Amino acid sequence: MLSLNSISKNFGSIRALNSVSLTLNPGEVLGLMGDNGAGKSTLVKIVAGSFLPSEGAMHLDGEEVKFSRPLDARHNKIEIVYQDLALCNNLTAAQNVFLGRELKHRLGPLSFLDYRSMNKKAEELFDELKSSPRPRDLVRQMSGGQRQAVAIARTLLSEARIILMDEPTAAISVRQVSEVLDLMRRLRDENVAIVFISHRMPDVFAVCDRIIVLRHGEKVADKRIAQSSTEEVTGLITGAISSV
């Protein structure tokens, strides 16, 4: 469904990604691991439209795509949960979920925000995620797990075909981690493809079908999880094993 061909990205003189290629299929959870600075977030941000690659191309369903802004990716049914969640603390949970795609009523030539529908839909999404944020509360007042739920709820708004998650289990409780992993499985069963960036090996091994490891901007492994092991992956991340 999605294929990245020799994607490279430079930030000034730093080569964050060096000729990385991968494919992503529907109904697949792809784990993306690597040490800090390996290029995982950069890669995923390119797919989400935050940056354009310096070299290389992306193809979606066989056709080449170029996402020059996040909206382009969203229109192609690609959603992302950023590592820092990209939430506005001064807005409510519902406002954050709908940010950029507010529900409105028209009154002649003008449109006004439909808070009631947004609050209601946000509440439904939070229930689906089995989480507790209240749609009218300010995000600033919420715990890490609630903020995570708001960020994830955002990706469920449109019917995304690809969801990119950058460290979604990093700052939440044990119970919530298991909720997030269950959500990933449910999405996978609905044929959504998920890219899961994480440092937490047990989570990756619990839910991923395939794993890719990046080191210093290069892909050093791309294999089915069942054919790998935590030791092998750790070795790949640190460089003890140079590649497989």
Interacting residues toward other proteins by CB under 8 A: 50, 69-71, 74, 82, 85-91, 95, 99-100, 102, 104, 110-113, 141
**Complex with other proteins: residue 104 or 185, whichever CB lies closer:** 104
**Complex with other proteins: residue 51 or 205, whichever CB lies closer:** 51
**Complex with other proteins: residue 48 or 236, whichever CB lies closer:** 48
**Complex with other proteins: residue 103 or 170, whichever CB lies closer:** 103
Instruction: Annotate the chain with three-state secondary structure.
Output: CEEEEEEEEEECCEEEEEEEEEEECCCCEEEEECCCCCCHHHHHHHHCCCCCCCEEEEEECCEEECCCCHHHHHHCCEEEECCCCCCCCCCEHHHHHCCCCCCEEEECCEEEECHHHHHHHHHHHHHHCCCCCCCCCEHHHCCHHHHHHHHHHHHCCCCCCEEEEECCCCCCCHHHHHHHHHHHHHHHHCCCEEEEECCCHHHHHHHCCEEEEEECCEEEEEEEHHHCCHHHHHHHHHCCCCCC
Q: How far is the CB of 159 from other proteins (least distance, A)?
A: 17
Q: How far is the CB of 114 from other proteins (least distance, A)?
A: 10
Q: How far is the CB of 225 from other proteins (least distance, A)?
A: 30
**Complex with other proteins: residue 83 or 131, whichever CB lies closer:** 83
Q: How far is the CB of 111 from other proteins (least distance, A)?
A: 7
What does the alpha-carbon distance between residue 232 and residue 244 come to, in Å, rounded to a whole number?
9
Q: How far is the CB of 115 from other proteins (least distance, A)?
A: 9
**Complex with other proteins: residue 84 or 189, whichever CB lies closer:** 84
CA angle 165, 42, 169 (to 5 degrees): 25
Q: How far is the CB of 108 from other proteins (least distance, A)?
A: 14
